[in-house]
Every structure is written in structure tokens, then in C-alpha cells.
Amino acid sequence: MKTSHSVLEGLAHDQGLILVGITTPNPPSGFDNYLRWLGHGFHADMFYLGREDAIRKRSQPSLLFPDCRSILCIGAAYPFPNHDPRAWNAGSGKVATYAWGRDYHDVFPEVLNNFMLSLMNELHASISYKIFSDSAPILEKSLAQQAGLGWIGKNSCLIHPAHGSTFLLAEIFTDIPLNATDPIQDEFCGSCERCIHACPTNCILPDRSLDARKCISYLTIEHRGRIPREYRSKIGNWVFGCDICQQVCPWNQRFANHEGSSIFLPYDLPEISNLAALFSISPNEFKTQFAHSPILRSRRSGILRNAAIVLGNQKSFESVKILGNVLLNESDPLIREHAAWALTQIGGQSALRMLNVARQSEIDPAVLSEIQYGLDHWDM
């Protein structure tokens, strides 16, 4: 079925979307790389990525929608943060920019249903379709690259020459054979390696993928348990996600147009401005406060674990009291364990006293081990 790309773009822009392209439900070009990535274990403990049925669906998108004849790949912008990623206020934490707004899982379906209504009007046709927004096993960056939404940069992000990499992807599988759009014929990273040098954990791999086991985004969002000590200081001020490899990218800094509004508005969460206050939030309050935010994914346990690490990295004596209180009174041992580490980072007589007091009453072996580690490595 014929519709010009400019008509599609017009319909997409009417819905606040910045990019649209079309590809076929054939096996995506990035599938072999994906298998290699899994084979090396770079997916960390995201075991769902390696399940057999998930791999099959990634290789054959039509398994998700048997009538699929074409796939519309959609991009929707989020803002590019223009603050210096290395400077931050003591007591607050940084949140990856995509998570400043409403949860894309909630926003995309409504907007994309409206988009499809306008497309059906335009074509005078009835279309069966299914919308996916990070909700099924899809190699979405590969499909979007095939559909012309950008090239995969060395930092593994999809980069569009006019919009940089600050956009989220969704897909609409349709039962009509729309003409595929052309991929961008080249990649424009050239000799640049800024993201590779800026990444605090050296997790960017030569094949434009990431070793998730080391990536701050994975560690602070997806990873459920203890964060290995070697990565805690590298997390810096990031309490949810990490934007560094996008912030340093010239395609975001100099060439992209980040103006205009976004479907994820309102953006009211540029930072978690009072980490100390977060520790007094109960599990139910956490669910309510972050009900419509991507931050909910980390759960209270993950966010407070991360918040303790950030306070430890900021090394402010003002945080000793709150961290000591967490160590003695918080019910979640994962959070207590990271509070013990944070006290060790801050140091001083008060922090030492807190660790010694906690050692008398603590019963969780992992927390006790962290307390002992701190005492054994105390910097007098």
C-alpha cells in the first residue's frame, strides 16, 4: 500500500513524534551480533534476554504478530540535559534524562493509537496493528536502523543526524504492506571516541554494544542485588541510569535539534533533590510517588541502594546521621549493606561509631560482612 514518507512524517509530527520509518518483518540485520553478545554473557543477569522463545521472536518479528506485513518504527524525543554531568549538588542524585518524564510504557500506546487512527483516515483503510513499547522481545534498534531512524553509534545508541540520540523507540506491527523506507547509508561516528573515553566503567565494547555487567544504567536500574564494590565509586551521583555517553556525544551537543515539546511531558524530575528524604519513604509511598515514572522499575530497594552509594561518593559529613539511621533501622538488608559502605567512604569518628554500634546488633551476614570490611579498611 502506498503512502509517501512525508505524509507519514506529517501524521507523526501531529502526534508529537519526531521520527517514523518503515521496515519489513524479516530477520533483523543485528541478530547475529545479538547472539554473540548473549554468548559472551554481556547481558549480565537479565536472563530473560537469553530465553529460547525470546531469541526466536527477536530473529522473527512476525512471531509476535502473525499477520505482520510491515513494521512502523517510531521515535519520540526526550530532552537533552545541558548541565555538566560532573557537577552536582551534595545531597541530590542524578536521574537519566529519559526518566524525567512520564513512563513511556504508559504514554506510547495512547499516542500511537491516535497516530494509527489518523493513518487509517489518510489511507481510507482498516488496518490491524499491534503496538510495542519495550514490551516484547524485539531488536528495536536494529529494526529502527533498517527503517532509517539512525545509525548505531559506538555508544550503542541509535543516532539520528538531526535529533541525536535522545529519543525513545516504539514499534507498530501492521497487516498492510507499506513501502519500506531507506536506511541511512553510513555511520557518522568517524574517528570520534568521546563516549568510549568518558564512560566511567569502560563498558563500551568495540562492536557498538555494551557490557551490561559494568554499565551504570544496568547496575542502577536492572540489577536487583548488591552492586560490586569496584563499581560503586564509578557510579558517582547517578541514582537512576546514566547519560554520560550521550551527554558527551557531539551529535547531541552540537548538531541535534533538541527543541520542541515531548509526548513524555511533564518533566518534573530533573534530579532527586533530597536523597536523605528518600530514605523515609515506605514501600507503599514509593509505589505511589513513582507510579507513573520509569523510576518505579528500580523499586524502592534499588533506588535506596543507589542513593546510599551516591551519598557515600559525595563524602559529606552531613550524610553520616541519615546513613547511620538507615544502617540501624532500615528493614531491607540490601539498603543497610550499601549504607555501611557509604559510611566507610565518608569516614570520621561519627561514621566509625555508627559502624561499631551496628556491628553489635546486625544479624544479616552480608551487612555484617560489609561492616567488617569497612572496619578492616578504615582509613585512620
Asked if 134 is an active-site residue, the reply is: yes
Q: Of 24 and 252, which has the nearer Cβ to ligand SF4?
A: 252
Residues 316-355 that bind ligand SF4 (CB under 6 A): none
Order of strands across the sheet that contains 167-174: 19-23, 70-77, 167-174, 129-132
Neighbours of 231 (CB within 10 A): 19
Q: Counting beta carbons within 10 angstroms of the beta carbon of residue 274, is it exposed (0 to 12), middle (13 to 18) or buried (19 or more)?
A: middle
Q: Of 81 and 333, which has the nearer Cβ to ligand SF4?
A: 81
Q: Least separation, in Å, of the C-beta of 297 and ligand SF4?
A: 16
DSSP 268-287: --SEE--HHHHTT--HHHHH
94 belongs to the binding site for ligand SF4 (CB under 6 A)? no
Q: Of 91 and 236, which has the nearer Cβ to ligand SF4?
A: 236
> Out of 251, 279, 286, 341, which residue is the one contacting ligand SF4 (CB under 6 A)?
251
DSSP class of residue 143 equals H
Report which residue type is found at 25: P
195 belongs to the binding site for ligand SF4 (CB under 6 A)? yes
Q: Counting beta carbons within 10 angstroms of the beta carbon of residue 335, is it exposed (0 to 12), middle (13 to 18) or buried (19 or more)?
A: buried
Q: Of 14 and 193, which has the nearer Cβ to ligand SF4?
A: 193
DSSP E strand boundaries for 126-217: 129-132, 151-152, 158-159, 167-174
> Out of 147, 169, 204, 275, which residue is the one contacting ligand SF4 (CB under 6 A)?
204
269 belongs to the binding site for ligand SF4 (CB under 6 A)? no
* Phi, psi (deg, nearest 5) at residue 365: -60, -40
Q: Least separation, in Å, of the C-beta of 34 and ligand SF4?
A: 17
* Annotated active-site residue in 134, 175, 332, 364: 134
Residues 114-153 that bind ligand SF4 (CB under 6 A): 153
Pairwise CA distance, residues 51 & 46, whole Å: 10
> Out of 193, 207, 285, 318, which residue is the one contacting ligand SF4 (CB under 6 A)?
193
Q: Look at the block and give the residue holding cell 559506538.
A: 154
Look up residue 350 and give its three cell numbers: 561519627
> Out of 189, 221, 340, 358, which residue is the one contacting ligand SF4 (CB under 6 A)?
189
Q: Of 136 and 295, which has the nearer Cβ to ligand SF4?
A: 295
Q: Of 70 and 166, which has the nearer Cβ to ligand SF4?
A: 166
215 belongs to the binding site for ligand SF4 (CB under 6 A)? yes
* Phi, psi (deg, nearest 5) at residue 93: -125, 160
The piece of 102-110, 239-247, 298-306, 308-316 that touches ligand SF4 (CB under 6 A) is 239-247
Contact 302, 286 (CB under 8 A): no
Peptide bond preceding 109 in cis form (omega within 30 of 0): no
Q: Least separation, in Å, of the C-beta of 100 and ligand SF4?
A: 16
- Convert residues 36-65 into a mask of x (bound to ligand SF4 by CB under 6 A) and - (unbound): ------------------------------
Contact residues for ligand SF4, defined by CB under 6 A = 153-155, 189, 192-195, 199-201, 203-204, 210, 215-217, 242, 244-245, 248-251
